[in-house]
Chains A and B, each alone.
Chain A
Amino acid sequence: MTKGSPIIRFEGVTKRYGKVVAVDAVDLEVREGEFFALLGPSGCGKTTLLRMLAGFEVPSEGRILIDGQDVTQVGPNKRPVNMVFQNYAVFPHMSVADNVGYGLKVDGVPSGERTMRVEEALALVKLDGLGSRRPDQLSGGQRQRVALARALVKRPRVLLLDEPLSALDAKLREAMRTELCQLQAQVGITFVMVTHDQDEALALADRCAVMNRGLLQQVASPSDLYEFPASRFVADFIGSVNMLEGRLVVDEPDHAEVAVAGIAQPIFLDHGVTGAAGTTLWLALRPEKIELHKATPAPPALGDAPAGRNAVAGTITHVAYLGSESLYEVKLPDGQKLKALRSNLTRWDQEDFALGEQVWLAWHACSPAVLLS
C-alpha cells in the first residue's frame, strides 16, 4: 500500500448508549502513514470513536474498515492496531521488559526473537538498559515510553493514542511532542491520537478531525482548521477569535462587504461570498490579525481595502502581558469588545500601548474568515 492511500475508513458509524448518541453517523478516512488527531471538547465522542477503532466498543450502526477489511465485529485482540492508554496501563507486577514483551508472548513469538524485539523497542523509546526495572521505579514520562514500546513492538498497522500527553507536566509535554513526531517519522506507522488540547493537535498532527456532540465538524490540516474554519464552533474551539455577526450587503466575484453592528463602515472582504444579499453570516477575526495603531484623526490604511474601511476606534480596557506577546482588550463605542494580540518584537514594545489609551484597530481585507453556520 502506498503512502497516502486510506488505511482506516469509518462508514456511517453511529454509537448509541441508550438514548444518548455518542457518535453520530461519522464518515472518515485516515491515510496510510499520517499522524491523525481527533480533537474536541470532553464528551464530544472522540474517545468513543477511538475505542471503536480499537475494538473495545461495537458501533450501533455502520462499518469500520482497516486495510480494506471490515473489522466492525472483530475483537480488540485480533485487530492490527495497538493502543497507548491515557494512564498508560503499564502492568504493575511485570518488569519493563515483560511489559513490552507481553504482546509478543501472547502471539507465541519464540523467546530469542522476543528478547531481540523487546530490546529494539526499548531502544526506540530511549529506555535501553531499563528492561529489568519495575514500573513503580519509573517516572511518569518513562512509564509512557513503556506503553509506547509495548504497543509498537507488535508492529501494528495503526497506533492509537488516548490523550497521550495529558498526564505529563508542561515542560515534559513539550519535549514529548517533538519526540512523538520523530518517533512517528521513524517507524512510519499511522498514528491516530485523541486529544482535547488544541495546541497538541495543531503541533503534532498532519490532519485533524474536530468533533462536537458526536458529529464530525471538520477534517483538515492544522493550518486549514485555524485559518479556514468551516463553522463558528471550529473557529471558536481552535484558538482565540473575535466573532462578528453581520449582514451581507455587497457580493461581487472579487469582493464583498458585510455590515456589522457597532462598526460604522461595512467590513470589506477581498473575495466574493456565495450568498444572497441580506444573508446573516459571521466573521471570525483572529486577535493576532488585528493591528493596533496610535489614535490619529484619520483611520490607518492597510492597502488592500478602500480608505476608511476595516478600521475601528476604541479604548484599551485591559492589557494582558504574556511575555512574547501582549493581549489587548479594546472597547468599541457601542460597548462590544475586541481582542488584539501584538508581538513584543523588541524589549520595549509592551510599553507602546497603555490601559485607557484611545487606539485604532485595523485588519486586512483577507483576514476575516467568513462563516455561514
Chain B
Amino acid sequence: MKGPLDYLARWPLRLWLAMVGAFLYLPLLALVVFSFNDSRRITVWRGFSLRWYAELFDDGELVAAFGNSLVIAASSTLISLILGTLAALLLWRFRFAGKAPLEALLGLPIVVPEICLGVAFLVFFTAIVPWPTELPWPLNLGAIIIAHATFSFSFVALVVRARLASFDGALAEAARDLGAGEWLIFRDIMVPHMVPGLVAGALLAFTLSLDDFVITFFTSGPDTITFPIKVYSMVRFSVTPAVNAASTLLILLTAGLTALALWLQGADIAKQAA
C-alpha cells in the first residue's frame, strides 16, 4: 500500500535524510561520547570514565552557575507566562486603537538581534535603572531575570495567541448562559483550552532562558554567572572533557523537558481519545 511516507523508499531521499541526520546529530553524539572519555585530551579515546562528571560536581562555581541558571529560567518563565498570556488575551479579546502596532511590537524581541538587546540591557541596567549588585541571592539575579522575561514573553504571547484563535466563542456563551461570570468562564473554559499553548510557551521560555548566552553576557556580573557563561569561560582556559560533560547535562535537561511536554500533551490527547 502506498502511504504518505512512501517517498522515503527512494534511495536519493534516503541518502539525503542520512546526511541531514549525520550533520545534525554526529557532533552532538561525539560531544556526549567524549564526555565519558578517560583522558585530558578530547580527541583520543582512552576508555570509559565518569571522572569529568565528578569534577563538575566538585567545581563549586559551576554548580552555583547551574543553580543560577535554573532560578533565572524558572522565574523568567513564570513572569513571561503571566505577561505573555495576558498580552495574548488582550489582543484576542479586545479591539482598541493601536492594536496593530502593539501586535507588531510584541514580535520585536524575536526579530531584533540579540546583541542589540544585550547592549540595550547593559545600558539600561547601568545608566538608567542600576540594579543593585550587593543584593542577597537570588535577588541579585533580578536584572537577568527581567532581561530574559522581556524576550521570552513575546514567544509565550505568540504561542498562546495562536491557540486562542481556535477558541469557540459559543463555549464561553454557553458557560455564561449556565450562570458563570467572567472569572469562572476564564478559569473553567478558557484556561483548559489554553493549556497546550501554555505548556508549549512555558517550555519555550524555559529553554530559551536556560541556554541564552548573548543577553546574559551583557547583564551578568561577577557574582551572577550562569551556566552557559561559565562553560564559555571554561573553554577560554582550556578545552577539557569537563566542558563536554557540562554540555551533555544541558542537553539532557532540555531534551528531558521537551520529552515531558510531549508526554503531557500526548497524555492529554490519549485522555480525550480514551
Minimum CB distance partner of B180 in chain A: A106
- CB pair B184–A136 under 8 Å, yes or no, is no
- With A89-B170, A93-B192 known as contacts, the answer to whether A76 contacts B176 (CB < 8 A) is yes
Measured in the bound complex, the distance between the Cα atoms of B179 and A151 in whole Å is 11
A83 within 8 A of B: yes
- CB pair B273–A82 under 8 Å, yes or no, is no
Contacts of B272 in A (CB 8 A): 92, 134, 136
- CB pair A82–B189 under 8 Å, yes or no, is no
- With A89-B170, A136-B273 known as contacts, the answer to whether A82 contacts B193 (CB < 8 A) is no
Contact with B along A109-127 (1 / 0, CB 8 A): 0000000000000000000
| A:55-99 near B, CB below 8 Å | 55-56, 75-78, 81-83, 85-87, 89, 91-93
A254 within 8 A of B: no
- CB pair B184–A87 under 8 Å, yes or no, is no
Minimum CB distance partner of B268 in chain A: A93
- CB pair A77–B179 under 8 Å, yes or no, is yes
Interface residues on B, range: 20 to 34
- With A76-B173, A85-B173 known as contacts, the answer to whether A91 contacts B179 (CB < 8 A) is no
A351 within 8 A of B: no
A191 within 8 A of B: no
Measured in the bound complex, the distance between the Cα atoms of B173 and A151 in whole Å is 13
- CB pair A83–B174 under 8 Å, yes or no, is yes
Give the one of B170, B174, B184, B274 with max A CB within 10 A. Answer: B174
B171 within 8 A of A: yes
Measured in the bound complex, the distance between the Cα atoms of B193 and A91 in whole Å is 10
Contacts of A76 in B (CB 8 A): 173, 176-177
B165 within 8 A of A: no
Contacts of A85 in B (CB 8 A): 170, 173-174
Contacts of A141 in B (CB 8 A): none
Contact with B along A333-357 (1 / 0, CB 8 A): 0000000000000000000000000
- CB pair B179–A106 under 8 Å, yes or no, is yes
- With A93-B192, A106-B184, A134-B272 known as contacts, the answer to whether A87 contacts B178 (CB < 8 A) is no
- With A93-B193, A136-B272, A136-B273 known as contacts, the answer to whether A82 contacts B170 (CB < 8 A) is no
Give the Cβ gap from A143 to chain B, nearest Cβ, in Å: 12
| B:39-62 near A, CB below 8 Å | none
B168 within 8 A of A: yes
B181 within 8 A of A: yes
Contacts of B192 in A (CB 8 A): 93
Contacts of B170 in A (CB 8 A): 85-87, 89
B223 within 8 A of A: no
Contacts of A87 in B (CB 8 A): 168, 170
- State the majority secondary structure of interface residues on B: helix
Measured in the bound complex, the distance between the Cα atoms of B173 and A76 in whole Å is 9
Minimum CB distance partner of B169 in chain A: A89
Measured in the bound complex, the distance between the Cα atoms of B176 and A154 in whole Å is 13
B33 within 8 A of A: no
Measured in the bound complex, the distance between the Cα atoms of B155 and A95 in whole Å is 32
- CB pair B173–A89 under 8 Å, yes or no, is yes
Contacts of A154 in B (CB 8 A): 178-179
- With A91-B189, A102-B188 known as contacts, the answer to whether A77 contacts B176 (CB < 8 A) is yes
A103 within 8 A of B: yes
A145 within 8 A of B: no
Measured in the bound complex, the distance between the Cα atoms of B175 and A134 in whole Å is 17
Contact with A along B232-274 (1 / 0, CB 8 A): 0000000000000000000000000000000000000001111
Contacts of A151 in B (CB 8 A): 177-178
Contacts of B178 in A (CB 8 A): 77, 82, 102-103, 106, 150-151, 154
- With A91-B189, A93-B193, A134-B272 known as contacts, the answer to whether A103 contacts B179 (CB < 8 A) is yes
Among A54, A86, A93, A136, which residue has its beta carbon within 8 angstroms of that of B177? A54
Among A54, A77, A92, A147, which residue has its beta carbon within 8 angstroms of that of B180? A77
A169 within 8 A of B: no
- CB pair B177–A83 under 8 Å, yes or no, is yes
Give the Cβ gap from B166 to chain A, nearest Cβ, in Å: 11
Contacts of B180 in A (CB 8 A): 77, 102, 106
Give the Cβ gap from A116 to chain B, nearest Cβ, in Å: 18
- CB pair A89–B181 under 8 Å, yes or no, is no
Contact with A along B181-220 (1 / 0, CB 8 A): 1001000110011000000000000000000000000000
Contacts of B184 in A (CB 8 A): 106
Give the Cβ gap from A162 to chain B, nearest Cβ, in Å: 9
- With A93-B192, A102-B188, A136-B273 known as contacts, the answer to whether A107 contacts B173 (CB < 8 A) is no
Give the Cβ gap from B37 to chain A, nearest Cβ, in Å: 50
Contacts of A102 in B (CB 8 A): 175, 178, 180, 188
Contacts of B176 in A (CB 8 A): 56, 75-77
Which 7 A-B pairs give the minimum distances between C-beta atoms? A103-B178, A89-B174, A89-B170, A93-B192, A106-B179, A77-B179, A83-B177
A-B contact pairs, 9 of them (CB 8 A): A54-B177, A75-B176, A83-B174, A91-B174, A103-B179, A106-B178, A106-B184, A134-B272, A154-B178
Q: A77-B177, A136-B272 are in contact. List 19 more A-B contacts (CB 8 A).
A: A55-B177, A56-B173, A76-B177, A77-B176, A77-B178, A83-B173, A85-B170, A85-B173, A86-B170, A89-B171, A89-B174, A91-B175, A93-B193, A102-B175, A102-B178, A102-B188, A103-B179, A150-B178, A151-B177
